Chain A
């Protein structure tokens, strides 16, 4: 069984759109809402695509803006202009 990659955000208007984008791009995503925060787990590999977040927000989005809302991550990170990916090799 693949280990879960995960990401958690503070709950706010921006992250509502980011989480919607993650759910759309990662069909196996499991969303876990907790007080003031939201955690999303995906087996093996979790990807956040800039284009999908922009579509949800209706504005340009720089993936480095994730820094403002991040709480924690799990997995090896790879960040480009278009995708923010967390993955486990196992």
Chain B
């Protein structure tokens, strides 16, 4: 029979009944005691009912669509794994992208799940509360599915199994950790700007769109399906962040300077975090679809400008760091990869000097900077490597007190010198990678003096494995740090000559003949 059953209610009515109508004002306790965190940041909200819910996704529809996403995802993962999909990726160097991703991303998804659970509890309106609750479940899903998809690679390649231990300890993972530690210890509205706006709108668009498209281009169906499945939730997350910003600005004009400061701060923090994502795109994908610079132009300069132009009606101005990020897009990925190459004993993934064709690609994509500043560095490092003098920096890195990036980026307007800033607070000296990070520190020094910096901890004797006497006269923190990190030595150093390289070649050979 061809009869169509009419839906009983339209989307808007259904959403209203199933979401907002289920909320109530408390009577045994006053509302301000039930929701104590929504005022201390200075944000003034007069009417929570004015919150707009653009997606109008009810909980029943949410479960239905999320379950369908999971079924599709795991069907693809199973098929990929059953067919030894790991051998179909372009080149074994690709595995190193997964190693860096595994340490840096799923743990942050877990922090996002925690953060949205906490913030959802604090939001007075039912609309944002439900949206935060959905986002918390989404983030937990991302955390789990990312680990599941990479677990198959962990059966074959080195350096993946201790990511959870390393995440809160290793120097190069500290920037992401600090981003979320900073956000989650802020108030609920700042958290929404930090994660809903800066992380979702600026960062995930680059991580999960061009980078994941790049994973597909390199034959990694597992990362592709996980990345895109996650990003299908991100569209909702970005919308939540954007709604929160609009809501604060519409509720009271006094909110404007507070929101502006958060946008300035978190756009910069997001930018710093992206240096390593950009490096994955420019250096670690054996086949590349677009440069970080191109992705930055599409997803930050154009898309960000669209947003800031739109928010101008509320008095929002372009973030202070905007022009610096435009200058830096031509530099940061090269500085990052050179930085990692120079520390071969300190990461659970391999590095390498780009091949001739790859250097040519970089020259083409970065015509203003690559040949002038970076190609000569690679040629020098390559020549040193070939004469048995491979560069190996054994010292602890110096980190920015705010973003915890290693201090390696250039002085604005001067690519030949490193940017250093410092300030004194309560008699102690603190170091920064940029004016923007210094400004952030000076606004909230009591918060940032507490930043976890692995180099400092190592030098203080806090990074030694159990049983090592840190007070012994001959104690040297560098001697034990790799054990403290549980670093798999097979996964460190050069890709050329590594076990991963040999195994991949042998297995691929087996896959094509008897």
Residues of A within 8 A of B (CB): 3-6, 8, 10, 34-37, 60, 64-65, 67-81, 88-90
Contact = CB atoms under 8 A, between A and B. Distances in A.
A90 B239 CA distance: 18
Contacts of B12: 80
Given A64-B65, A90-B306, A71 B239 contact: no
Nearest to A8: B209
Contact of B54 (A6, A10, A77, A81): A77
Interface stretch (B229-237, B331-339, B340-348, B395-403): B229-237
A3 B305 contact: yes
Interface in B195-230: 204-205, 208-210, 212-214, 216-217, 224, 228
A64 B310 contact: no
B10 interface: yes
Given A36-B224, A37-B228, A68-B68, A73 B235 contact: yes
Interface string B24-66: 0000000000000000000000000000001111000100010
A36 B309 contact: no
B214 A35 contact: yes
A81 B209 CA distance: 28
Contact of B289 (A35, A65, A90): A35
Given A73-B235, A76-B54, 17 more contacts: A3-B305, A3-B310, A5-B306, A8-B209, A35-B214, A37-B213, A60-B4, A65-B65, A67-B232, A68-B69, A68-B72, A68-B232, A72-B205, A72-B238, A74-B306, A88-B309, A90-B306
A56 B428 CA distance: 67
B482 interface: no
Contact of A64 (B57, B204, B208): B57
B205 A79 contact: no
Interface of B: 4, 7, 10-12, 54-57, 61, 65, 68-69, 72, 204-205, 208-210, 212-214, 216-217, 224, 228, 231-232, 234-236, 238-239, 242, 289, 302-303, 305-307, 309-310, 312-313
A11 B49 CA distance: 38
B213 A35 contact: yes
A88 B54 contact: no
B61 A90 contact: no
Contact of B56 (A5, A8, A74, A79): A79
A78 B224 CA distance: 28
Given A60-B4, A72-B234, A90-B310, A37 B209 contact: yes
A70 B65 CA distance: 12
Contact of A69 (B11, B55, B232): B232
Secondary structure class of chain B's binding surface, majority of residues: helix
5 contacts: A72-B204, A73-B239, A76-B54, A80-B11, A90-B312
A36 B312 CA distance: 35
A81 B303 CA distance: 27
B15 to A, nearest CB: 9
A90 B309 contact: yes
B289 A71 contact: no
A19 B234 CA distance: 20
Contacts of A80: 10-12
A36 B213 contact: yes
A79 B351 CA distance: 46
Contacts of B10: 80-81
A71 B224 contact: no
Contact of A71 (B65, B214, B235, B312): B235
A74 B310 contact: no
Contacts of A6: 303
A71 B305 CA distance: 20
A76 B68 contact: no
A73 B214 CA distance: 19
A88 to B, nearest CB: 5
A70 B310 contact: no
A74 B303 contact: yes
B450 to A, nearest CB: 35
Contacts of B310: 3, 76, 88-90
Nearest to B10: A81
Nearest to A39: B209
Contacts of B54: 76-79
A60 B12 CA distance: 19
B312 A67 contact: no
A69 B68 CA distance: 11
Contact of A34 (B57, B72, B213): B213
Given A72-B234, A89-B313, A35 B68 contact: no
B490 to A, nearest CB: 31
A20 to B, nearest CB: 20
Nearest to B242: A76
Contacts of B214: 35
Contacts of B55: 77, 79
